[in-house]
């Protein structure tokens, strides 16, 4: 029997390159790369910007005679329990930065709303600095009101807030 090649008969061979569509279906590698680049850029732009807020000059600074530990604890607890005017629930954090210094800050939707620095002075007074983060929520007055409320049990401020120094009462 002579050997003949039948050109019309094909043997099916699976090619893993074309048959393996991967987790994103038939999306091309270029389109997938562009999608990853866009997602990465969006995540990079939506940072918490805490370092930028802390590097900014404080909007308000006041020195109180209320003891540092008492004022810092009260502010931290009240900020955590507060019902905010903008209706959201920010993520509230606090951090001791060595020595008698505590920072209370709130983050909402990946943006820092405010940063409050509470520091004990050498004369056993407490200096409070308020730095504004994202504007538009109208929380500066509410946050500063918490600080003043926590001070009510202590004595009056030693000096007026920087923002109110130029105002006539």
- Per-residue pLDDT, 127: 94
- Per-residue pLDDT, 5: 60
Q: What percent of the chain stands above pLDDT 70?
A: 62
Distance CA 116, CA 109 (A): 19
- Per-residue pLDDT, 49: 84
Distance CA 169, CA 152 (A): 20
Residue-wise pLDDT tens digits, 76-123: 888 888 888 777 778 888 777 777 788 888 888 888 888 999 999 888
Instruction: Give the start-to-end residue ranges of the domains of the chain.
Output: 50-164
User: How would residue 40 be classed by pLDDT, with cut points 50, 70 and 90?
Assistant: low
In total, the chain counts a number of residues equal to 169
Tell me what the pLDDT averaged over the chain comes to. 74
- Per-residue pLDDT, 35: 64
Helix (H) or strand (E) holding 107: strand 101-108
Secondary structure (3-state) at 17? helix
50-164 fold: TATA-Binding Protein (3.30.310)
Residue-wise pLDDT tens digits, 120-169: 988 888 999 999 987 667 788 889 999 999 998 655 455 544 444 443 33
- Per-residue pLDDT, 149: 92
Q: Which residues pair with 64 in a beta bridge?
A: 126
User: What's the angle, vertex CA 46, arms to CA 41 and CA 47, rounded to 5?
Assistant: 110
């Amino acid at each position: 029997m002579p050997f003949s090649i039948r050109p019309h008969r094909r043997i099916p061979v699976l090619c893993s390159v074309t048959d393996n569509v991967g987790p994103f279906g038939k999306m091309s590698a270029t389109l997938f790369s562009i999608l990853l680049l866009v997602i990465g850029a969006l995540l990079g732009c939506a940072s918490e910007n805490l370092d930028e807020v802390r590097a900014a000059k404080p909007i308000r600074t006041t020195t109180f005679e209320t003891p540092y530990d008492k004022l810092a604890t009260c502010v931290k607890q009240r900020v955590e329990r507060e019902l905010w005017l903008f209706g959201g629930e920010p993520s509230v954090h606090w951090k001791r930065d060595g020595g008698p210094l505590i920072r209370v800050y709130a983050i909402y939707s990946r943006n820092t709303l405010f940063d409050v620095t509470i520091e004990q002075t050498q004369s056993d007074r407490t200096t409070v600095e308020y730095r504004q983060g994202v504007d538009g929520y109208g929380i500066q007055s509410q946050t500063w009101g918490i600080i003043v409320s926590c001070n009510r049990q202590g004595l009056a401020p030693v000096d007026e807030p920087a923002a109110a120094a130029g105002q006539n009462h």
